[in-house]
Amino acid sequence: MKAFLFPGQASQYVGMGLDLYREFPIAHDYFDRANAILGFDLKDACFNGPEDKLVRTEYTQPAIFVHSVIVNEILRESGQRPQVVAGHSLGEYSALVSAGVLTFEDGLRTVKLRSQLMQQCCDRYPGTMAAIVGLSLDQVKDIIHDIDGVVPANFNSPDQVAISGSKEGVGIACEKLKARGAKRAIMLAVGGAYHSPMMTDAKEGMAGHLNILEFNNFDFPVIANVTAEPITDPFTMKMLLMEQIIAPVLWYPTLQRMISLGITEFYEIGPGKVLQGLLKKSLREHQYKAFGADKVADIENLLGARV
């Protein structure tokens, strides 16, 4: 059994999608449709950057979403179908398109609104995130509990937890965590304090949109960030998407849940290799295969050059 995994923010890079655009007509179509929906040149942002532009939330989220959906569609047309999907934060919307729940257009419009609302929060409440390596979730919680406004944001692997909050608070937390045994504290290339109370305004702004958004039936389950459980009910998924904006991403529990469902093959669909790295850290005691589908060469390898 196979699962498709869709990356979130911090997976972007300048040049993303360019080789897909050159090789596959479907990439032309999706980028052109995206430009019309977004009202700006997403191709230029993806292909040429610069990096300080691409890292801004209103560019990052549509870029990763469109890239991931293009790769998913190429694999789908070639007969590749997962039994379950999940996406890391933003990637949850790519997963919903893969599962047939959202159309590309509705998904991108939703991502556009989400990115705008979150960017407004970033501008209003400047913040950041950091990855803490070498401590458990409970240890991180215990050490940072008295640092105002800093919270665990992503439970990525047994010994990697991302924290989120004000720039000053995250800086203080990083020093405190390193002093208490963290091997590393890595500042992330993100534009704000995602999955924290600093995103509450974005959550409230998304509620009205999600409530009226049409969800189709699920072709296969989506494992939700907030609960790490498979979801096939549209109403439940909408509620979890709202909560996801301020709640921690339970990625390590998500991978464990997939293993319990019998998944033995994991495919990272979209830019970068972040999720493949988390697989190695999270599933050391399990037998599985991991693949990446980012560039043309990756897709050719997956499909045996039948593209």
Is 195 a residue of the active site?
yes
Is 89 a residue of the active site?
yes
For residue 103, the tally of other CB atoms under 10 A from its CB is 13
| Cis bond before residue 50 (omega within 30° of 0) | yes
Block residue for tokens 């004000």:
166
What token pair was written down for 306?
């039948």
How far does CA 41 lie from the centroid of its chain?
A: 22
Asked if residue 104 lies in contact with residue 204, where contact means CB atoms within 8 angstroms, the answer is no
CB under 8 A, 24+ apart: contacts of 74-81: 74/20, 74/24, 74/26, 74/299, 74/307, 75/267, 75/269, 75/293, 75/299, 75/302, 75/303, 77/26, 78/303, 78/306, 78/307, 80/267, 80/302, 80/303, 81/220
Instruction: Read off the amino acid at residue 38.
Output: L
Separation between Cα atoms, residue 254 and residue 256, nearest integer Å? 5
Separation between Cα atoms, residue 177 and residue 262, nearest integer Å? 36
Separation between Cα atoms, residue 118 and residue 46, nearest integer Å? 20
Burial tier of 33 (Cβ tally within 10 Å: 0-12, 13-18, 19+)? middle
Instruction: Tell me how long the chain is.
Output: 307
DSSP secondary structure string for all residues of 251-279 = HHHHHHHHHHTT--EEEEESSSSHHHHHH
For residue 14, the tally of other CB atoms under 10 A from its CB is 15
Catalytic residue selected from 68, 89, 94, 196? 89
Catalytic residue selected from 88, 98, 195, 282? 195
User: Are β-strands 127-133 and 222-223 bridged in parallel, bridged antiparallel, or unpaired?
Assistant: unpaired
Active site residues: 89, 195
